[in-house]
């Protein structure tokens, strides 16, 4: 298993969900106005290669969430494919 640090701030899921939740680079402060700590781990599981053109936004999403991570933060990109495997898994 994985053990998280006590001060861990982790994003796990689609990058687009992170931005849709209002945590984009422009949302540096929390609801109480206090600065948010940087993320300590970002894992991006965005299916790419299942549909035509589904990877076109990945670079844009990575650029948008990069400022949310602390310096030296690991970023994990998980691949999914080939397309026929995607079709049978959903």
Q: What is the pLDDT of residue 6?
A: 53
Q: What is the pLDDT of residue 37?
A: 65
* pLDDT, tens digit (0-9, with 9 covering 90-100), for 45-61: 666 666 777 777 777 77
Pick from 22, 77, 10: nearest CA to 46: 77
Which residue has tokens 């691949």?
A: 79
Q: What is the mean pLDDT of residues 10-20?
A: 59
What is the distance, to the nearest Å, from the Cα of residue 84 to the centroid of all Cα atoms in its chain? 24
Question: What pLDDT band is residue 27 in, cutting at 50, 70 and 90?
Answer: very low
Structure token digits, residue 41: 């781990």
Q: What is the pLDDT of residue 1?
A: 46
Structure token digits, residue 25: 């680079």
Look at residue 11 and tell me whether its pLDDT is greater than 60: no
- Does residue 39 sit in helix, strand or coil? strand
């Amino acid at each position: 298993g994985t053990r998280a640090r006590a001060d861990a701030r982790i994003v796990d899921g689609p990058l687009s969900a992170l931005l849709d939740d209002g945590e984009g680079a422009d949302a540096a402060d929390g609801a109480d106005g206090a600065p948010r700590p940087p993320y300590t781990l970002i894992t991006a599981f965005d299916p790419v290669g299942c549909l035509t053109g589904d990877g076109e936004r990945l670079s844009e999403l990575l650029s948008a969430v990069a400022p949310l991570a602390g310096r030296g933060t690991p970023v994990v990109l998980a691949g999914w494919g080939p397309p026929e495997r995607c079709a049978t898994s959903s």
